[in-house]
Amino acid sequence: MELSKEISYALRHAPEKYGLQLDDEGWVSIDLLIVALRREHKWKGLTEEDVNEMIDNSSKKRHEVCDGRIRALYGHSIPQKIVKAISEPPQFLYHGTTNKSIESILRVGLKPQKRQYVHLSQDIETAISVGKRRDENPVILLIESKKAYKEGILFYLGEDNIWLSQPIPSKYIKING
């Protein structure tokens, strides 16, 4: 878990702190990432096998490895915009939020806040889990994602269950239930 958080921080929020330069799609060489992490004493013995094992054993798919490179799949807050492939979303997606945010969201829509994209869930259970990070009784929003997409809002598949999007106007948002 600690390694996953460290790699997420390096790839999502502070690549420059580690001396890393992400390409347009957020990729960096695994070898360079390992060299950067080994500068800290607790990661001195880190290997590529450790990184692959962390990814394989993670319950949440946050990272992707391909051809000796690694990237975070979503959650970026760096100034450099990470390029994603546009994907047509399912009919509906969900978003878990706090009770205190609901009035504003229904008025102005969903915005990425400190991230590059709005994060959405393909199922209600994930939206509840995400919402509970900030509110014991989160409000689950139903997003008319297919309709929004057909009307020009871009969506991107973050991973199997997480979708990313441009800001979503309030006309596509309803309280679920």
> Who wins on pLDDT, 115 or 100?
100
Highest mean pLDDT among 40-54, 62-76, 142-156: 142-156
- What's the whole-number average pLDDT of the chain? 92
pLDDT for residue 160 is more than 80: no
pLDDT for residue 101 is more than 80: yes
Task: Tell me the whole-structure pTM to 2 decimals.
Answer: 0.72
Q: What is the pLDDT of residue 81?
A: 78
> 176: which 2 tokens?
């679920």
User: CA separation (Å) from 160 to 31, 62, 139?
Assistant: 26, 10, 23
Please write the tens of the pLDDT for every residue from 133-154. 899 999 999 999 999 999 999 9
Domains within the chain, CATH numbers bracketed: 2-72 (1.10.10.970), 93-175 (3.20.170.30)
- Do you know the residue count of the chain? 177
